[in-house]
């Protein structure tokens, strides 16, 4: 009964999204597309941070790996489908390669290694001019074609991205409700106990990190044809920190969190346009308030308001405190 309702809500949301561009201008459609692409990368961060309880400071770097992989392959004449899976696959493999040594040691070390990796990727993109175009970037990245029709028009490209994002979202949903998802939750809540129950904590953590990173790669493969231009700036350490911020603001560990967080990150600068360069200040202040009063993020806040109406307030608070309070090392 409840799940039937949830399915209906999802169907309505997807339908609404599919129809949205009909009433919107070119720039608005661009922003919506950017939101979807950002949300895909954020889904990956949420898997790593929210479900598996690790910290990643390299999602923007994986976005970059995906973007350059797909752009370079597209320029070499490789079909988009292949380039797309190559972008995700390479990110997955690199995720395994850097996660493997980092996860031998304590919790925060994955964060440290990804931080170093993030800077390193940025340096490679900037320095290897022969491959990546260096600081001048790669121009004129073609949008893919489908059945012979170019997806250059902004609405067609939006629908294309929507379809891919929906598929990736479904795959993520499948993953987190499978036994793997249960294992992820277990290793976040209590890795020692999980290990004693036969959960290979290192392997699951590594897989969560690699799959989350692959989502960064997939998002990158969509980002390049969306913007039609890439350069090193959006793949630096700073944007990686912003990915982490966005997922926590949305609600880490909740399935809708990344979508909400990405919406805030993409749309807030638009809403705060009147504030010109002050919007970063406002955003930062909001994040701090959010963390202090509702660490479960906007989704948690919405849930709390909802249950306040329906249940005694005390229970809702307990729930909120429980959600992130136990993420201690």
Residue with smaller CB distance to another protein, 160 or 223? 223
Q: To which H or E segment does residue 30 belong?
A: helix 26-46
CA 204 to chain centre: 19
Does residue 175 bind another protein (CB under 8 A)? yes
Give the angle 322-327-329 at the CA atoms, nearest 5°: 140
Output 31 or 301, the one with its CB closest to another protein: 31
Q: How many residues bind another protein (CB under 8 A)?
A: 108
269-63-302 Cα angle (round to 5): 50
In order, the DSSP letters of 95-136 are: HHHHHHHHTTS-TTHHHHHHHHHHHHHHHHHHH-HHHH-GGG
**Does residue 198 touch another protein according to CB under 8 A?**
yes
Part of the chain binding another protein (CB under 8 A), chosen from 71-79, 85-93, 116-124, 306-314: 116-124
Binding status of residue 302 toward another protein by CB under 8 A: no
C-alpha to C-alpha distance for 179 and 181, rounded to whole angstroms = 5
CB 219 within 8 A of CB 61: no
**79/315 with CB nearer another protein:** 315
Residue 10 found at the interface with another protein (CB under 8 A): no
Minimal distance, residue 277 CB to another protein, in Å: 4
State yes or no: residue 322 binds another protein (CB under 8 A): yes
Whether the Cβ atoms of residue 323 and residue 251 lie closer than 8 Å to each other: no
- Per-residue string for binding with another protein, 56-85, x by CB under 8 A? ------------------------------
| Residues 257-296 contacting another protein, CB under 8 A | 267, 269-271, 273-274, 276-281, 283-285, 287-288, 291-292, 295
């Amino acid at each position: 009964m409840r799940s039937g309702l949830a399915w209906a809500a999802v169907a309505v949301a997807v339908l609404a999204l599919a129809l949205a561009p009909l009433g919107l201008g070119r720039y608005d459609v661009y922003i919506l597309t950017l939101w979807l692409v950002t949300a895909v990368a954020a889904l990956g961060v949420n898997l790593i941070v929210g479900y598996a309880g690790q910290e990643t400071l390299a999602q923007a770097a994986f976005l970059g790996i995906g973007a350059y992989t797909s752009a370079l392959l597209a320029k070499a004449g490789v079909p988009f489908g292949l380039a797309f899976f190559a972008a995700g696959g390479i990110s997955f493999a690199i995720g395994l390669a850097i996660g493997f040594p980092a996860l031998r040691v304590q919790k925060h070390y994955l964060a440290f290694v990804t931080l170093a990796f993030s800077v390193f990727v940025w340096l490679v993109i900037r320095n290897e001019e022969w491959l990546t175009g260096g600081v001048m970037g790669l121009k004129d990245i073609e949008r893919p074609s489908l059945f012979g029709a170019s997806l250059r028009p902004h609405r067609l490209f939006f629908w294309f991205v929507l379809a891919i994002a929906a598929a990736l979202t479904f795959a993520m949903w499948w993953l987190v409700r499978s036994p793997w998802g249960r294992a992820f939750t277990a290793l976040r809540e209590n890795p020692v106990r999980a290990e004693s129950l036969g959960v290979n904590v290192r392997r699951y953590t590594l897989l969560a990190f690699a799959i989350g990173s692959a989502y960064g790669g997939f998002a990158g493969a969509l980002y390049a044809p969306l913007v039609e231009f890439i350069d090193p700036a959006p793949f630096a350490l700073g944007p990686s920190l912003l990915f982490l911020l966005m997922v926590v603001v949305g609600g880490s560990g909740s399935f809708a969190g990344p979508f909400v967080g990405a919406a805030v990150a993409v749309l807030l600068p638009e809403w705060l346009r009147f504030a010109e360069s002050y919007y970063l200040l406002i955003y930062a202040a909001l994040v701090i308030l959010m963390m202090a009063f509702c660490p479960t993020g906007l989704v948690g806040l919405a849930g709390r308001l909802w249950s306040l109406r329906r249940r005694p307030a005390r229970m809702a608070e307990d729930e909120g405190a429980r959600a992130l309070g136990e993420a201690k090392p």
